[in-house]
Structure 1
Amino acid sequence: MSWTQTAAFTAATRSALNALTPFDAPRGTVLFRPGDAVQGFVIVLSGQIDVFLTGPTGREILLYAVEPGQSCVQTTLGLLGDERYSGEAITRDDARLVLIPRGLFLRLMDEDAGFRSFVFTAFGQRMQGMMHLLERVAFQRIECRLAETLLNHAEDGSLHATHAEIASMIGSAREVVSRRLDALARRGIVGLDRGTVRILDAAALHSLAEADR
């Protein structure tokens, strides 16, 4: 089933969108960088895109991940407000995407209430997620954010990520994350291998994750 069948688009909108040709973006593809102009509205058909913000010191924070059915708030802002990108987007794994060109996107926003609802609903959900991120970074201790991230992103009891990647997920620095993970390892809560964090005591992590709530 085409992705357009799940939204309340007009027949004309659905026809125009179905005529667009999807393209593949292999893992690690950089889709945009700070300062780039927004070319169009990207729909993720499969895979995942990570959007990062990089500070003057080179420290990164993962703003959000774009999965099938979700939107990139920076792209929406760029198209509606004529702003350039301030972040960087990289495919986490092999992705299949559709690009709605700027002209077509703006025309559909004007002509189709269903398309406008689709865009603004996704935009609102993404903004809510970013507010939650801001709240966590501002008010949660690093240990709590780290524990929550390990629990949420682990597969089969392990998170396969470098300390730098984990740092970007929680809005901290790699050195800080390394120290916190070493402390958790000494307490027997996690085990550390190269590029992998193994959860040994999930109950203790849950307690840490809930400590600031």
Structure 2
Amino acid sequence: MQTLEKEIIHRQFPQLEAPLLDELLKQSTLKVVAEGEEVMRSGQYITSTLLLLSGLLKIYREDDEGNEFLMYYLEPGNACALSMMCTARNEKSQIMAKAVTDVAVILVPSHLSELWLGKYKSWHNFVIASYRQRFEELLQTLDSIAFKGLDERLLFYLKRHVKVSGKQVRLSHQQIADELNSSREVISRLLKKLEQTGALTLHRNYLEVHDLGLV
């Protein structure tokens, strides 16, 4: 962390006060992870709170057969609330975190995270805000599964993906199907219907979203 400029952290985490940023620089660890690699895995003891400095992380669960269930994406300037919870309770992780792009993460040791809750008001507020934001996202995900058909779930999925990574969705039909627990054939048929409405354009290796509000 000594080589990491304080200004970079301040730009991504402007809500943190100056003395806390100094401690963050001196006592935390910077880790760079390549695209496609795991940052956190299920069954692993979590000893550090994870802050995302750059890139995009996918937070998901995996069943016994290897099927993935997308929970949310983590963007720069965010913390993984679930890693905070596991760290505080000294519990094993029940989630997976994978780098969608090359990422840089800051790892805050558990004892510091606990200490800062009482020492720095900005850290306390940041942790509470992180919990609330992820809880709201998980509620939206649950609603999409429990109360919506597959076509509406696909729209919800695409809107969320566009929000974090832009209008070019570089995922195959099979990858989308896996994350929505459906088949490639069904997803391809639904995407074709969306293309016919003008909401998106299908390309060979990606799809380009135009206006999902047209649906």
TM range (shorter): 0.7 to 0.9
Query: Distance in 1 between the 2:91 and 2:112 partners?
Result: 18
Which of 63, 70, 76 is matched with 2:71 structurally?
63
Q: Which position in structure 2 is the counterpart of 1:3?
A: 9
Query: Distance in 2 between the 1:179 and 1:62 partners?
Result: 19
Query: Distance in 1 between the 2:137 and 2:174 partners?
Result: 22
Per mean C-alpha deviation after superposition, the further-off stretch among 183-192 and 73-82 is: 183-192
Question: Is 2:202 the partner of 1:195?
Answer: no
Q: Which position in structure 2 is the counterpart of 1:180?
A: 187
Which of 47, 51, 59 is matched with 1:51 structurally?
59
Per mean C-alpha deviation after superposition, the further-off stretch among 87-96 and 21-30 is: 21-30
Classify 1:168/1:16 alpha carbon distance in 2 versus 1 (closer, same or farther; 3 Å).
farther
Amino acid in structure 2 at the alignment position of 1:48:
L
Amino acid in structure 2 at the alignment position of 1:141:
G
Q: Contact 2:177–2:187 at 8 Å: present in 1 too?
A: no
Q: Which position in structure 2 is the counterpart of 1:211?
A: none
Within 5 Å, give how 1:29-178 maps onto structure 2. Answer: 29-151=37-159, 153=161, 158-169=168-179, 171-173=180-182, 175=183, 177-178=184-185
Classify 1:72/1:8 alpha carbon distance in 2 versus 1 (closer, same or farther; 3 Å).
closer
Query: Distance in 1 between the 2:136 and 2:208 partners?
Result: 30
Amino acid in structure 1 at the alignment position of 2:185:
S
- Long gaps (5+) in structure 1: 209-213
Q: Contact 1:38–1:84 at 8 Å: present in 2 too?
A: yes
Amino acid in structure 1 at the alignment position of 2:118:
D
Classify 1:180/1:50 alpha carbon distance in 2 versus 1 (closer, same or farther; 3 Å).
closer
The Cα shift of 1:14 comes to 2.6
Count residues with an aligned counterpart. 201
Q: Contact 2:144–2:152 at 8 Å: present in 1 too?
A: no
Query: Distance in 2 between the 1:50 and 1:196 partners?
Result: 18
User: Deviating runs (4+, > 6 A) in structure 1?
Assistant: none
TM-score (norm 2): 0.80
The percent identity for this pair of structures is: 20
Query: Distance in 2 between the 1:156 and 1:40 partners?
Result: 30
TM-score (norm 1): 0.80
* SS of 2:196 mapped into structure 1: coil
Query: Distance in 1 between the 2:120 and 2:43 partners?
Result: 30
Q: Which position in structure 1 is the counterpart of 2:4?
A: none
The Cα shift of 1:194 comes to 4.1
Query: Distance in 2 between the 1:152 and 1:124 partners?
Result: 18
The Cα shift of 1:91 comes to 0.6
- Long gaps (5+) in structure 2: 1-6
The Cα shift of 1:122 comes to 1.3
